[in-house]
């Protein structure tokens, strides 16, 4: 019984430790309107693959502004800095970058500090 | 067997319909720096309560920019427009609004269209 509670406590601290290591970021992009559909297809494919195959890619929420569809925001959560560095070396990320290189007019990366990351289970 | 597949198909269409109804939005706020810690506490409490007790509040990801901590972004997902309207009538939302009313210097609400909403299970 004591072992059980110690194990519970250990797992719990582990979860907290992992969350503190998380890298959270917002990417803001302006896309060439003439290439927007191709860009969105490439981004969608990249997000699906990255979250599915990389244990350290926790969340990639990519959205387009309704009033300015070429303005894209991506909300990104990585398990830790190492997971993010590993992500940059994957074949799917490199493919995404080379495919979209001439579609992206500007890219701003904003490092953020979580206040609350509340969500029901997987969308 | 046919019934089983029809049921599968029905559930599947249901999931898709639900996702298409989702309301996704980004809120950008500038907070009075002198009241930032109080604001963040109120926002954190509000996000936790809303996602826990409201079936239609799917995601509230609130973050502060590291280089400009008084600049807050909230990434919001509601199940549908009705869920969002119901949210505005809850006691916890009204409490959050009245508590933070004089802390918020500006609020911009940006309606967005999802491109990809990829995430591992609950953070």
Query: What does the pLDDT profile of chain A (123 residues) look like in tens digits?
Result: 666 666 665 555 544 445 789 999 999 999 999 999 999 999 999 999 999 999 999 999 999 999 999 999 999 999 999 999 999 999 999 999 999 999 999 999 999 999 999 998 643
ipTM (interface predicted TM): 0.84
- The pLDDT, as a whole number, for residue B19 is 77
- Counting residues of chain A whose pLDDT is more than 70, the rounded percentage is 83
Q: Do A72 and B115 touch (CB under 8 A)?
A: yes
- Tell me the angle at which helices B36-53 and B91-100 cross, rounded to the nearest 10 degrees: 170
Query: Which residues does chain B have within 8 Å of residue A100's beta carbon, measured at their own beta carbons?
Result: none
Q: Where are the alpha helices (DSSP H) in chain B?
A: 2-21, 36-53, 81-88, 91-100
pLDDT of res. A7: 61
- Is the CB of A118 less than 8 angstroms away from the CB of B59? yes
- The model's pTM: 0.85
**Would the CB atoms of B65 and A117 count as touching at under 8 Å?**
no
Look at the alpha carbons of B15, B16, B17, B22 in this order and tell me if their dihedral is positive or negative: positive
Rounded CA separation A29/A14 (Å):
34
- Mean pLDDT for all residues in chain A: 90
Coil vs helix vs strand at A60? strand
Contact map slice: B 75-114 vs A, CB within 8 A: 75, 77, 110-114
Give the C-alpha separation, A8 to A81, whole Å: 26
Query: From the list B61, B64, B73, which residue is nearest A117 (CB)?
Result: B61
């Amino acid at each position: 019984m004591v072992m059980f509670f110690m194990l519970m406590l250990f797992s719990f601290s582990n979860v907290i430790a992992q969350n503190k290591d998380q890298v959270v970021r917002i990417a803001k992009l302006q896309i060439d309107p003439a290439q927007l559909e191709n860009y969105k297809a490439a981004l969608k494919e990249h997000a699906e693959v990255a979250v599915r195959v990389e244990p350290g890619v926790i969340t990639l929420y990519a959205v387009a502004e309704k009033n300015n569809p070429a303005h894209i925001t991506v909300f990104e959560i990585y398990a830790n800095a190492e997971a993010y560095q590993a992500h940059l070396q994957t074949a799917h990320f490199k493919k995404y970058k080379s495919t979209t290189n001439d579609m992206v007019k500007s890219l701003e990366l904003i490092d953020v500090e979580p206040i609350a990351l509340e969500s029901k289970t997987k969308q």
